[in-house]
């Protein structure tokens, strides 16, 4: 039975190769309906023809044999269907022809104007955004950066239940609070082959932080945000030590590090809009000076002819520099001295 199936598969494979070879010969060595300007016509719908060169032009490079035949057939089939749909559209949508032409022309113009805008933007935009510019935008737009969830910074250690060097571990974790440096903790985790999850220098959502701990879904664990010092949880096979060094509460202004990329996108968009607005204004004024614009509405004519006074850029720059020299307040609601009485009490509790 197996031998029969094997023979049938081989026969089917050989037959497929023969059919493919015949198809390739049909497309590449003949099968043309007619010629136009010395080129073979491979398909025709009404009076519209598809040339062999049209398929060759759009065929991806590297296709050979079966793949090229498959692509050619799909291309021809799509082309025929498109032509039939266009003919049917001319019959059914004849009353909408003017509307369609108007929409197509509007879309064409919008594409051209978008390209023109980008031409001026590419020539003039400054893509470099300094830390002072980031800080200034962050200050003046703080209300738009409110958090919709809690964010934290801290570290998590996962050790086996047999781990005994807990004093050295907790001491190293407390130093992270005071210094922010996790090098000692990292060296300790490598030495004892225990897992370290280091979020001391990056803000993560509180839910992501908790996902590294053996938590229960029925609890919110919001109370942990107000605790300081090293905290501990256990599972069946592991010990978890963690410390939350910084907290940004829901409803607070997000830390600058969390919104830096968003600010960069906003500043780029503002600069782009300014460049486009400037060159559009210059186009209007140049056309008005050249007598190329005439309007019946005198008020509108006066409006577009108005040239605003130039601002004192040096004075504005000085004000900005003074404004952003102040330090940005840091969100550090739980970063306290590990030797404080509150922390000492937590140690005793542990």
Distance of CA 86 to the CA centre of its chain: 37
Q: Band of the pLDDT at 253, cuts 50, 70, 90? A: very high
| pLDDT at residue number 40 | 83
Checking if the pLDDT of 113 tops 60, the result is yes
Residue 183 lies in a domain: yes
Residue pair 162/172 in contact by the 8 Å Cβ criterion: no
Q: Band of the pLDDT at 224, cuts 50, 70, 90? A: very high
Are 154 and 230 in the same domain?
yes
Are 213 and 118 in the same domain?
no
Q: Band of the pLDDT at 341, cuts 50, 70, 90? A: very low
Q: At what angle do helices 2-28 and 65-92 cross, to 10 degrees?
A: 60
| pLDDT at residue number 4 | 52
Q: What is the mean pLDDT of the chain?
A: 80
Are 175 and 224 in the same domain?
yes
Of 235, 253, 271, which marks where a domain is finished? 253
Are 120 and 154 in the same domain?
no
Distance CA 182, CA 175 (A): 8
| pLDDT at residue number 32 | 54
Distance CA 293, CA 283 (A): 11
* 3-class SS of residue 100: helix
| pLDDT at residue number 311 | 55
Residue 323 lies in a domain: no
Residue pair 42/33 in contact by the 8 Å Cβ criterion: yes
| pLDDT at residue number 297 | 85
Q: Which ranges of the chain does DSSP label H, i.e. alpha helix?
A: 2-28, 52-58, 65-92, 97-124, 131-140, 166-179, 183-192, 206-210, 256-289, 298-305, 313-324, 341-349
Residue 57 lies in a domain: yes
Give the pLDDT mean for 235-254: 94
| pLDDT at residue number 195 | 94
Checking if the pLDDT of 19 tops 50, the result is no
Distance CA 22, CA 31 (A): 11
Q: Band of the pLDDT at 8, cuts 50, 70, 90? A: low
Are 73 and 102 in the same domain?
no
| pLDDT at residue number 348 | 40
Distance of CA 120 to the CA centre of its chain: 24
Pairing of strands 195-205, 39-45: unpaired
Are 184 and 111 in the same domain?
no
Are 226 and 196 in the same domain?
yes
Choose between 156 and 90: higher pLDDT. Answer: 156
Cβ neighbours, 10 Å, residue 320? 14
Sign of the CA dihedral running 138, 208, 227, 201: negative
Are 200 and 104 in the same domain?
no
Are 42 and 119 in the same domain?
no
Q: Per the structure, how many domains does the chain have?
A: 3
Distance CA 255, CA 146 (A): 9
* Domain coverage including residue 72: 17-92
| pLDDT at residue number 206 | 95
Cα angle 5-10-16, degrees, rounded to a multiple of 5: 125
Choose between 343 and 98: higher pLDDT. Answer: 98
Residue 6 lies in a domain: no
Residue range 264-288, pLDDT digits in tens: 999 999 999 999 999 999 998 999 8
Residue 308 lies in a domain: no
Residue 318 lies in a domain: no
Of 24-28, 163-167, 272-276, highest mean pLDDT: 272-276
Choose between 344 and 288: higher pLDDT. Answer: 288
Cβ neighbours, 10 Å, residue 230? 24
Sign of the CA dihedral running 65, 68, 69, 70: positive
Residue 185 lies in a domain: yes
Q: Band of the pLDDT at 5, cuts 50, 70, 90? A: low
Distance CA 152, CA 246 (A): 5
Residue 64 lies in a domain: yes
Cβ neighbours, 10 Å, residue 209? 24
Give the pLDDT mean for 154-180: 89
């Amino acid at each position: 039975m197996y031998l029969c199936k094997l023979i049938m598969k081989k026969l089917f494979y050989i037959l497929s190769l023969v059919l493919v070879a015949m198809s390739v010969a049909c497309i590449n060595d003949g099968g043309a309906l007619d010629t136009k300007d010395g080129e073979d016509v491979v398909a025709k719908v009404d009076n519209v023809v598809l040339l062999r060169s049209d398929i060759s032009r759009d065929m991806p490079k590297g296709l050979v044999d079966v793949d090229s035949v498959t692509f050619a057939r799909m291309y021809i089939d799509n082309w025929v269907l498109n032509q039939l749909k266009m003919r049917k559209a001319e019959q059914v949508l004849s009353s909408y022809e003017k509307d369609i032409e108007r929409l197509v022309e509007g879309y064409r113009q919008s594409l051209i104007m978008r390209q023109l805008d980008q031409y001026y933007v590419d020539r003039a935009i400054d893509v470099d955004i300094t830390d002072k510019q980031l800080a200034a935008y962050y200050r003046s737009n703080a209300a738009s950066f409110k958090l919709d969830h809690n964010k934290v910074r801290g570290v998590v250690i996962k050790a086996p239940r047999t781990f005994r060097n807990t004093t050295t571990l907790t001491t190293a974790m407390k130093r992270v609070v005071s210094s922010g440096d996790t090098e000692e903790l990292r060296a300790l985790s490598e030495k004892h082959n225990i897992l370290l999850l280091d979020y001391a220098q990056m803000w993560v959502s509180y839910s992501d932080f908790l996902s590294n701990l053996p938590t229960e879904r029925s609890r919110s664990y919001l109370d942990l945000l107000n605790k300081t010092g090293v905290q501990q949880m256990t599972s069946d096979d592991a010990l978890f030590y963690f410390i939350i060094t910084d907290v940004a509460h829901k409803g607070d202004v997000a830390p600058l590090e969390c919104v830096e990329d968003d600010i960069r996108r906003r500043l780029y968009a503002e600069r782009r809009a300014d460049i486009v607005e400037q060159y559009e204004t210059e186009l209007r004024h140049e056309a008005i000076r050249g007598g190329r614009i005439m309007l019946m509405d005198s008020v509108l004519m006066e409006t577009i002819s108005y040239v605003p006074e130039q601002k004192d850029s040096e004075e504005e720059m000085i004000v900005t520099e003074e404004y952003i020299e102040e330090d940005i307040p840091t969100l550090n609601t739980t970063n306290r001295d590990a030797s404080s009485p509150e922390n000492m009490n937590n140690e005793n509790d542990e």
